[in-house]
A and B are shown apart, each in its own frame.
Chain A
Amino acid sequence: MIRLFSFLKPHRFSVVLVLLLIFLQSLAELYLPTLMSDIVDIGIIKGDIPYILKTGGLMLFVAAGGMTCAFMASFSSAKVSAGFGQILRGQVFSHVENFSFQEFDKIGTASLITRTTNDITQVQQVVTMMLRMMVRAPMMCIGGIIMAVSKDAKLSLVIIVVIPILVAAIFAVISRSLPLFKVMQLKLDRLNLVLRESLTGIRVIRAFNRIEYEQRRFDTANLDLTGTAIKVNKVMAALMPVMMLILNFSIIGVIWFGSIRIDTEGIQVGDLMAFIQYATQILFSLIMFSMLIVMIPRASVSAARINEVLDMTPEIKDITRVKHTGTQSGYVEFKNVTFSYPDAEKPVLAGISFEARPGEITAIIGGTGSGKSTLINLIPRFYDIDSGSILVGGVDVRELPQDGLRLKIGLIPQKAVLFTGTIADNIRYGKEDASDEEVRHAAEIAQAIDFISGMQDGFNAVIAQGGMNLSGGQKQRLAIARALVRKPEIYLFDDSFSALDYKTDAKLRAALKKETIDATVIIVTQRVSTAIYADKIIVLDQGRIAGIGNHRELMGSCKVYREIVSSQLLEEEIA
């Protein structure tokens, strides 16, 4: 939590200003009882009504001054806390945008989203509360002590003694309840999780007849949470009464010792009344403070989660002296590549060597977990490999700048992700300055033109978030168009035809062939019918290459390939 306060740095002058203004406001607030004591000690004792009225006017003036300070403090603190949120959000977001997949995999996308949104909001709220109300407590304490001492140094000892006692009491209660609040937060999250799972899995739960089991699971979490909530509220129940008791006894102390001092030192009754009110104001500000402090555990959980994100450094960075272009445009080569995901026992890919040349289609085929998609993701350097090297255009990918490397590549991912915006926007995603003609051409080749022109606004039709208003096949075709418009040296198709029906698939491949004639094309696929056309087929089996060659060669030499082919030929036999 405290670490995040460093984001207040750009606003440090404003923070100081807020503190100063609140201090002034506290002084104004405390000055009112002082003036009141004058009314009592001078006005009443002498029966001087004009003096009373005059002092009353002065009090109004002081009160107005205090309000002005509070207004200005509110203005600055609003800017500070909104600015804090802005900076923190911006930092986290741009930090995450530079993450490689290693970091994304570690935290999980959904969790990253909550960390960037909810968690920051949570922390920002606490900063707001701190600047607005919590800082008042120490300011009031300091101001109150100054005022009290200036009135009567000896009597102010009562207040000076009571403040530490009160702080200790607050500490005693809070130090017990804060950990409980933290636990409660965890248990609430747990309950949330159990419930969410029982909602998303409702069919499975009912199908497997596990309703009672789920109810037990929920009840356990519910009971657990309730137990902690009761405990924490019981501890908190002591806070207010104890503080009020201390406050009230300190007032009794003020009256008693005050009477003695009135008797011996001749201080005034008005001073005594002022003292009572100082004590009340100081102690109320401390009470407010202790009420707000319980907001902190929730925020500190959030803060820890944000810090975790900020602490992660992208593992993939450009080296300082990057090479720019290789000599062999579009040429991709794997040299004895081994790669394992972080924390995995076994490598996903081991000893992979092959080359893919411009003008050629290289297909990669293999079973689940055989590492096909992983292999594709290594080429744009989404992950760094353990050993070996990957060359693009003759240069090791680790020596190329990441943006330069990715500019050469047109990736069509397995899951067609589209963004909010028009269809044209989405296609232009591949090339920002693409002309209308280029966009249309890409859509034509991707076999998307039919459904685009079928839409009311054509290329200007708006895609809802996540492309919810399009079918899977339509999304895939737009994703292909997006890569095509880029005219990259290397095309990477990661099982990108899976949602297309066979007719469209065939038409698309025919059109693609012409378009990608000079490019290196690497296709991950599950369909033999797609692989057959490839100039080179790489058969992956459990992370290793089981065979390389064209269809005919592999039919002869590769057992794994024959198995795959025969599994798909089942359909053929009946026809």
Chain B
Amino acid sequence: MNGQRASQRISGRQGRGQGFGPPMVIPVQKAKDFKGTIKRLMGYLRSRRYQLLVVFLTALLSTIFSIVSPKIMGMAITRLFENVMAKYKGLPGAGIDFNYILHILLILGGLYIFSSSFSFLQHYIMAGVAQKVVYDLRKEVHQKLSRLPLKFFDSRAYGEILSRVINDIDNISSTMQHSLTQLITSIVTLLGVIVMMLSISPLMTLMLILILPLSFIITRIITARSQNYFLGQQKALGELNGHVEEMYSGHLVIKAFGHEDRSIAKFDDINEKLYQSGWRALFISGIIMPLMNFINNIGYVLVCVVGGVLVTRRAIQIGDVQAFITYARQFSQPINQAANIANIIQSTIASAERVFELLDEQEEVPEDPAAKIILSPKGEITFENVKFSYNKESKLIENMNIDVKQGQTIAIVGPTGAGKTTLVNLLMRFYEIDGGTITIDGVSISKLKRGNLRSLFGMVLQDTWLFSGTIRDNIAYGREGSTEEEIIKAAKAAYADYFIRTLPNGYDTILNEEASNISQGQKQLLTIARAILADPAILILDEATSSVDTRTEVCIQKAMNELRKGRTSFVIAHRLSTVRDADLILVMNHGQVIEKGSHNELLAKGGFYADLYNSQFTAGDIRTLDKIC
């Protein structure tokens, strides 16, 4: 795992997690095509439009009820006040009008119950809608991934794809769950409250609206100020994470050279930097809330003072002041959140855009509807005038012609690793060729069903891929529905049975996430067992034995020789010992096939291969070895 990928992963997770979080100042990512993306995202909601309609309606109703209730409550207060004033003035028959108040309170109670029930309904239904949309989206993305060519995966960091499928979709999910309904209720509340406030006192409403820009300006200033510290924090965190990653991966070397203290000292250095920019960022973002609060309080004071004066002049009722105070609170909430909601929506649309970008990637060439299937493969392969390159600038393969008979072994050798996997990519049709044809048993691979084509091959790749699960499951991956007996037989054939049995739980040993509980060589043995179990017509051994030492290699070679009988095999290896029996050797350098022929032919030619071969043993070595023989 390289640092860049890790820090990507880390910063990815740092964004909004579950959506319940409080407002935070996060650098906002901007969407490129805001409208288009929203439209497309809405498309996912279309199939659930009835449920959404219900959500909208319930949101509307619950908001309207909650807007009406302060005004009604104010009526009770006003009546109370009038009664008290009457008593104060000593009017006859003065007293509290309990009947009226009870009446009002009953109405209020009813409204509250309605409002809460609708609000519950709204969230309840939205839970189903939002999560199912996200489920669909994840599924669609995953299916899309399975249709993308390998070119796509080879040119991208896994962390980036992961972050799109997990973090970005998670982001969309929480926005749908929370922010979407919040947006609706905010807008309705804002409009409703303004109407109610205007009906009470246009003057006070105007005052409240006038102090609003203050909060916008303040947020703007502070956000701009804090951005620097946040960037500094992000940078320090990235540096810190990089250091941790490097030190932990190099733990052996650190220990061996006794550098623990130095590593800790450097860590402390970066940690201090992180602290310095961290607390500043936290402080500045932390004062936004109190500032907003203060502005709201100014509004509150204005309402109290102006309201009080107006009441004394009989312009409004005392209950209206109480109602207005509630409205001011309801009013400021969406306003205060506006910036936050805007950020959330921006980043959600940016997330959606990244997900859609992935969904729009060019897929593998579609399968010919009349694609053929080879039922009993022989494993004869031909390359005719095959042309291929990864990019237009450098041509890799030009007019390559190979003719491989059933059961032959082709060795691919060369000093650099790059380029040798190219043949695998072409054979398995992981990449499309630019010209010519590759045929298997006389059928062009472009006319074969992909699934069928790949089932003809068994391969052991350079990077051993095992998934977290039992060893048994990992071997059984080679063929669906294989029996216990077959699995053990395959393990034995790959000389893996012995080490598996020394593990604490034998075949039931669960490989951990990094499969770090077994050695590299053992991993390779497992992948060999998996290939053996698959029992394919054609074998591809990609440096199959590079991590296994010579003695084990001999054992594996014996097994492989047995396995290779009757099968066509391509062996990619550094080791010349493995190419000795090859019927044909392809010599690759800088990704190009530069020589081909048998071992003796190539030696006689005295070219690149001969050089490579001769450099393996110095004269001294050969003399010594002669003596041994």
B399 close to A (CB within 8 Å)? no
Q: Using Cβ atoms and an 8 Å threshold, which residues of chain A touch B325?
A: 36, 273, 277
Closest 5 CB pairs of A and B: A237-B123, A70-B290, A233-B127, A74-B286, A56-B305
Interface SS of chain B:
helix
Q: Using Cβ atoms and an 8 Å threshold, which residues of chain B touch A35?
A: 304
B589 close to A (CB within 8 Å)? no
Q: Using Cβ atoms and an 8 Å threshold, which residues of chain A touch B321?
A: 40, 273
Name the residue of chain B whose CB is nearest to the CB of A344.
B504
Q: Using Cβ atoms and an 8 Å threshold, which residues of chain B touch A40?
A: 308, 318, 321
- Which among A25, A204, A298, A503 has the greatest number of chain B C-beta atoms within 10 A? A204
CB-based contact A200/B513 at 8 Å: no
**Given A63-B301, A74-B283, A567-B577: A209 in contact with B264 (beta carbons within 8 A):** no
Q: Using Cβ atoms and an 8 Å threshold, which residues of chain A touch B105?
A: 252, 255-256
CB-based contact A36/B304 at 8 Å: yes
A70 vs chain B, min Cβ distance (A): 3
B389 close to A (CB within 8 Å)? no
CB-based contact A406/B256 at 8 Å: yes
CB-based contact A466/B2 at 8 Å: yes
A111 close to B (CB within 8 Å)? yes
B347 close to A (CB within 8 Å)? no
Name the residue of chain B whose CB is nearest to the CB of A199.
B158
Number of interface residues of A (CB under 8 A): 176
CB-based contact B267/A90 at 8 Å: yes
CB-based contact A56/B549 at 8 Å: no
Among B27-35, B129-137, B191-199, B559-567, the one that faces the other chain is B129-137
CB-based contact B298/A60 at 8 Å: yes
A432 vs chain B, min Cβ distance (A): 8
A59 to B306, CA, bound (A): 13
B200 close to A (CB within 8 Å)? no
Q: Using Cβ atoms and an 8 Å threshold, which residues of chain A touch B289?
A: 70, 132
Taking a contact as CB atoms closer than 8 A, the residue among B113, B301, B629 that contacts A572 in the complex is B629
B108 close to A (CB within 8 Å)? yes
Q: Using Cβ atoms and an 8 Å threshold, which residues of chain B touch A369?
A: 499, 502, 519, 521-522
Q: Using Cβ atoms and an 8 Å threshold, which residues of chain A touch B551?
A: 366-367, 560, 563-564, 567
Q: Using Cβ atoms and an 8 Å threshold, which residues of chain A touch B451?
A: 209, 211
A242 close to B (CB within 8 Å)? yes
B590 close to A (CB within 8 Å)? no
Q: Using Cβ atoms and an 8 Å threshold, which residues of chain B touch A292?
A: 20-22
What per-residue 1/0 map shows which CB atoms of B102-138 lie under 8 Å from chain A? 1001001100110111011011101110111011001
A278 vs chain B, min Cβ distance (A): 13
CB-based contact A70/B549 at 8 Å: no
A312 close to B (CB within 8 Å)? no
A571 to B329, CA, bound (A): 86
What per-residue 1/0 map shows which CB atoms of B265-279 lie under 8 Å from chain A? 001100110110011
A222 to B618, CA, bound (A): 58
What per-residue 1/0 map shows which CB atoms of B300-319 lie under 8 Å from chain A? 11101100110110000010
B263 close to A (CB within 8 Å)? yes
10 A-B residue pairs with Cβ-Cβ distance under 8 Å, sorted by A, are A44-B312, A117-B245, A129-B22, A195-B165, A199-B158, A223-B135, A382-B255, A465-B242, A570-B580, A572-B629
**Given A406-B256, A506-B618, A571-B577: A74 in contact with B290 (beta carbons within 8 A):** yes
A451 vs chain B, min Cβ distance (A): 15
Q: Using Cβ atoms and an 8 Å threshold, which residues of chain B touch A263?
A: 95-96, 98
Q: List residues 346-366 of chain A with CB under 8 A from any CB of chain B.
A: 346, 366
A-B contact count, CB below 8 Å? Answer: 496
Q: List residues 204-235 of chain A with CB under 8 A from any CB of chain B.
A: 204, 206-211, 213-215, 218-219, 222-223, 226, 229-230, 233-234
A382 to B258, CA, bound (A): 12
Taking a contact as CB atoms closer than 8 A, the residue among B173, B268, B304, B550 that contacts A568 in the complex is B550
B572 vs chain A, min Cβ distance (A): 13
A28 to B141, CA, bound (A): 52
CB-based contact A468/B312 at 8 Å: no
CB-based contact A252/B246 at 8 Å: no
B370 close to A (CB within 8 Å)? no
CB-based contact B580/A574 at 8 Å: yes
B383 close to A (CB within 8 Å)? no
Q: List residues 68-99 of chain A with CB under 8 A from any CB of chain B.
A: 70-71, 74-75, 77-79, 81-83, 85-86, 89-90, 93-94, 96-99
A121 close to B (CB within 8 Å)? yes
What per-residue 1/0 map shows which CB atoms of A130-142 lie under 8 Å from chain B? 0011000000000
CB-based contact A83/B275 at 8 Å: yes
Name the residue of chain A whose CB is nearest to the CB of B624.
A532
B560 vs chain A, min Cβ distance (A): 13
A71 vs chain B, min Cβ distance (A): 6
Q: Using Cβ atoms and an 8 Å threshold, which residues of chain A touch B621?
A: 506, 529, 532
What per-residue 1/0 map shows which CB atoms of A404-418 lie under 8 Å from chain B? 001101010100010
A291 close to B (CB within 8 Å)? yes
B503 vs chain A, min Cβ distance (A): 7
Among A2-10, A47-55, A322-330, A513-521, the one that faces the other chain is A47-55
A555 vs chain B, min Cβ distance (A): 6
Taking a contact as CB atoms closer than 8 A, the residue among A89, A105, A226, A238 that contacts B132 in the complex is A226
Q: Using Cβ atoms and an 8 Å threshold, which residues of chain A touch B326?
A: 280
What per-residue 1/0 map shows which CB atoms of A16-47 lie under 8 Å from chain B? 00000000010001001001100110011101
What per-residue 1/0 map shows which CB atoms of B490-532 lie under 8 Å from chain A? 0000000001001110000000111011010110010100100
Name the residue of chain A whose CB is nearest to the CB of B158.
A199
Q: Using Cβ atoms and an 8 Å threshold, which residues of chain A touch B298?
A: 60, 63
Q: Using Cβ atoms and an 8 Å threshold, which residues of chain A touch B268?
A: 90
**Given A291-B20, A413-B252: A273 in contact with B241 (beta carbons within 8 A):** no
B607 close to A (CB within 8 Å)? no
A198 to B458, CA, bound (A): 18
CB-based contact B550/A567 at 8 Å: yes
CB-based contact B282/A78 at 8 Å: yes
Q: Using Cβ atoms and an 8 Å threshold, which residues of chain A touch B84?
A: 262, 268-269
Taking a contact as CB atoms closer than 8 A, the residue among B145, B166, B415 that contacts A188 in the complex is B166
CB-based contact B279/A79 at 8 Å: yes
**Given A78-B280, A563-B551: A269 in contact with B80 (beta carbons within 8 A):** yes
Q: Using Cβ atoms and an 8 Å threshold, which residues of chain A touch B513?
A: 108, 110-111, 193
CB-based contact B428/A501 at 8 Å: no
Known: A226-B132, A420-B246. 14 other contacts (CB 8 A): A40-B321, A70-B289, A93-B244, A109-B249, A197-B468, A210-B480, A233-B126, A237-B127, A240-B119, A269-B80, A369-B502, A380-B255, A406-B258, A575-B613
Q: Using Cβ atoms and an 8 Å threshold, which residues of chain A touch B618?
A: 502-503, 506
What per-residue 1/0 map shows which CB atoms of A110-148 lie under 8 Å from chain B? 111100111001000000110011000000000000000
CB-based contact B146/A117 at 8 Å: no
Q: Using Cβ atoms and an 8 Å threshold, which residues of chain B touch A70?
A: 287, 289-290, 293
CB-based contact A199/B112 at 8 Å: no
CB-based contact B465/A203 at 8 Å: yes
Taking a contact as CB atoms closer than 8 A, the residue among B290, B300, B622 that contacts A67 in the complex is B290
CB-based contact A241/B580 at 8 Å: no
CB-based contact B312/A47 at 8 Å: yes
A569 close to B (CB within 8 Å)? yes
CB-based contact A121/B554 at 8 Å: no
CB-based contact B101/A256 at 8 Å: yes
Name the residue of chain B whose CB is nearest to the CB of A117.
B241
Q: Using Cβ atoms and an 8 Å threshold, which residues of chain A touch B3?
A: 465-466
CB-based contact B294/A63 at 8 Å: yes
**Given A45-B85, A240-B119: A298 in contact with B246 (beta carbons within 8 A):** no
B150 close to A (CB within 8 Å)? yes
Name the residue of chain A whose CB is nearest to the CB of B118.
A241
Name the residue of chain B whose CB is nearest to the CB of A502.
B616
CB-based contact A195/B617 at 8 Å: no
CB-based contact A78/B158 at 8 Å: no
Name the residue of chain A whose CB is nearest to the CB of B468.
A193
What per-residue 1/0 map shows which CB atoms of B543-559 lie under 8 Å from chain A? 00001111111100000
A437 close to B (CB within 8 Å)? no
**Given A82-B275, A207-B459, A211-B146: A93 in contact with B454 (beta carbons within 8 A):** no
Q: List residues 575-591 of chain B with CB under 8 A from any CB of chain A.
A: 576-577, 580
